A and B are shown apart, each in its own frame.
Chain A
Amino acid sequence: MREMKSIFKASNVVKLVFIVLTYLLVQFLINIGIITDYYQTTLATICINIILAVSLNLVTGFTGQFSLGHAGFMAIGAYACAIITLKNPTYAGFIQGVAAGAILSAIVGVAVGLPTLRLRGDYLAIATLGMAEIIRIIFTNLKITNGAAGLQGIPRFINWTWLFVFTAATLIIISNFIKSSHGRACIAIREDEIAAEAMGINTTKYKVAAFVIGAFFAGVAGALYASYFYFLKPNIFNFAKSVDILVIVVLGGMGSLTGSVLGAAILALISTFLQRFSEVRMIIYSLILIIIMLFRPQGIMGSRELSLSLFKRAASKIEPKVGKERS
């Protein structure tokens, strides 16, 4: 009963309205031709990167476990979906592919998480990095993945609307998890693992849970990637890809979901607009990252969320008189 009530809370309605408005706005921009086919690729990248960043944020930003292997889970989802839809090029095949990718990725998450999450900090980062490299090398050497040449002509079953639905669903699920008592336990582990254990929180269980949920959604993102971009090869999922995802999380703010959304959108837009300056593109991109981190070392959002109350507070700061009269 309580769960039912909480779904209809005002803040959830606001979120839903905001999600629908975002969709309508982007759809409108597509219809009137401002977002051309070319920019639709950017849009797809943004959606996929949001799913990747939000799922990594759960592990690294909220639970405090530094993972450098997110591209590995993305690869599992991508190849699983690609292989299944190549064999069964129907919508049913696609849905099976996404499900298989996410579940396989989660299973690998359990297998990797149980032993490695006993490690802390740098050691965990190296272990997860090694895991992602092993996955990549396996895919380079398997016959079913067509080795280093990769898979081509993966049928596309996904469009902007579907991407948006998947992205919104991921955000809602992970945000609800974080607000639940399970999410509280994860944040407590980040804050102080020994104190969390003294409170009776099963730290291993929650670290593995966060890691597996993160792996699951990275698998979903990989599957969507495979279906949208036709083409896969193992090198897409290298160490640099894991770092790219981590950059979005750090830039948006560790422990802020809306920060990850903003981070993914801003970085994708910057890199799209920099396509025109191809020679100096990476230099400018890196400079922008350095400048943002110099001025906002805690990331764009820090650990706060973008919400109505934040806007209200900002507004009352700009117009202190009006704010006082209202209160």
Chain B
Amino acid sequence: MLEIKDINVHFGGIHALKGISMTVQRGEIVTLIGANGAGKTTTLRTISGLKKSTSGQILLDGTDITNLSAQERVKRGISHVPEGRRVFPAMTVLENLELGAFLRRDKANIAADLKMVYERFPILADRKKQLAGTLSGGEQQMLAIGRALMSRPDILFLDEPSMGLAPLLVQEIFNIILDINNAGTTILLVEQNASMALKIAHKAYVMETGSIVLSGTGEELMQSDGIKKAYLGG
């Protein structure tokens, strides 16, 4: 459903992405792993339109979206949970969720989706009038995911959802990701926690300094010696 062909991105003089190509099939969980500064976040941002590419092509269901604005891409079903959660701190949980549906006008469906998000994250329903900035890290991550679901995405981008969370919560977040995927949403996941990500991924890409150096199924990569050494701790 998503096809990225030879994307290059520059930050000023720095060549951040050097000809990235990857594909994501409908219904899959695809993960992008690699060290800090490898270009994982930049890849996600480029696909969701927050960062312009200098060359290359991005196809969504066969249509070229390379030159569309972030807004147009959200309308076409891409939703992005940015790194570090980035909830709107001085707004309530409910207001945050409503902003997730900013581009939608179908009031009845929005209400239904809000109910769906509350069912998936009961803690958010309990805290709907609380300011998002006062939530714990795990709750903020749930809010960020819930907010992204409010745009009814076909494909959900998750950037380091486990960052800074306690191990138990990390497990919970990964269960939620699996649930969302089982409900029919395709997922592109960027993670530092490579072992967890590879466990749930259908397909994985390994990035190093702006290029994809390895790809395969989650299983294959977990068995690979190089990956074991570099990312899985032995």
A contacts, CB < 8 Å to B: 181, 184-185, 187-188, 191-192, 194-202, 303
Contact = CB atoms under 8 A, between A and B. Distances in A.
B48 interface: yes
Q: Which 6 A-B pairs have the closest CB atoms?
A: A200-B74, A191-B88, A195-B86, A200-B103, A198-B80, A200-B71
A65 to B, nearest CB: 16
Contact of B50 (A184, A188, A197, A202): A197
Interface stretch (B4-12, B94-102, B121-129): B94-102
Interface residues of B, number: 27
A197 B70 contact: yes
Given A198-B80, A200-B75, A202-B71, A185 B102 contact: yes
A199 B48 CA distance: 10
A196 B103 CA distance: 11
28 contacts: A181-B102, A184-B95, A184-B98, A184-B99, A185-B99, A185-B102, A187-B88, A187-B90, A188-B99, A188-B102, A192-B86, A192-B87, A192-B89, A194-B50, A194-B86, A197-B50, A198-B48, A198-B50, A198-B70, A199-B99, A199-B102, A199-B103, A199-B147, A200-B73, A200-B74, A200-B102, A201-B99, A202-B69
Question: Which residue among A185, A192, A198 has the maximum number of chain B CB atoms within 10 Å of its CB?
Answer: A198
A199 B86 CA distance: 11
Given A184-B95, A200-B70, A200-B74, A195 B102 contact: no
A202 B82 CA distance: 17
A199 B74 contact: yes
Contact of A188 (B69, B70, B73, B88): B88
Interface of B: 48, 50, 69-71, 73-75, 79-82, 86-91, 95, 98-100, 102-103, 147-148, 151
A194 B82 CA distance: 8
Contacts of B75: 200
A188 B82 CA distance: 15
Contacts of A181: 102
A188 B100 CA distance: 11
A184 to B, nearest CB: 6
A306 B81 CA distance: 35
A208 to B, nearest CB: 15
Contacts of B69: 202
A295 B51 CA distance: 42
